[in-house]
Amino acid sequence: MKIGVLALQGAFAEHVSTLHAIGVEAVEVRLPEDLLDVDGLIIPGGESTTMRRLIDRWGLRQPILDLAESGAPLFGTCAGMIVLAREIAGDEDPVLPLLDVTVERNAFGRQLDSFETELVVPLLGDQPVHAVFIRAPVIERVGPGVDVIAKLDDGRIVAVRERNVIATAFHPELAGETRFHRLLAMLAAEHADPGEGVGRRPHPTRRAHEGR
């Protein structure tokens, strides 16, 4: 099993290190061929506008959408949440509209307004998650198929899941928190080996390359 980390810009190295720490092979993804045989993908924090431009420049948009369509799990943190949102406040065009949510960028203010807190995330167990918020977004609206998995004390939504796509407004990888990555690895393992008698759907990126 391999999990890709989009490595165009931002805090991708920390995600790679976290995957290694839990014994998962990580692949840095910069080109479509880097997605060959990955069973999941992390979209890290960074600068979402720059990430959008680089995703388009290197032809990664459709291969990532195809990967998600195949059932492989995706996990976005901070800017990764913005990249995965179907709607971005301010009428900015979506990048990879896989989550039926509306996201507000920089919802907590400037870099100096960054903060850390403990969050209850029942999906991950009873122990609170230590969450690091850095110029973080917040979710203003969730669609009917979206599960809210974490809120701040004031009710603002900061983590969601819709089928095989998970997103957090915060950075678990900067806090030594591994449970989100372990969840992603579990989902990726299920995608890689869906069980006896059930065939895995062909990898869309490999299919495209074999057709050339």
Annotated catalytic residue, options 14, 15, 78, 87: 78
Predicted pLDDT at 194: 75
173 is catalytic: yes
In this prediction, residue 108 carries a pLDDT of 79
Rounded distance, CA 170 to CA 167, Å?
9
* Per-residue pLDDT at 103: 97
CA 129 – CA 117 distance, rounded (Å)? 8
pLDDT at 140: 96
pLDDT of residue 17: 97
Instruction: Determine which one of 14, 104, 171, 177 is catalytic.
Output: 171
- Is residue 33 part of the annotated active site? The answer reads no
- Give pLDDT < 50 ranges for the chain: 196-203, 205-212
* 181 is annotated as an active-site residue: no
* Candidate list 173, 181, 191, 203, residue with the active-site label: 173
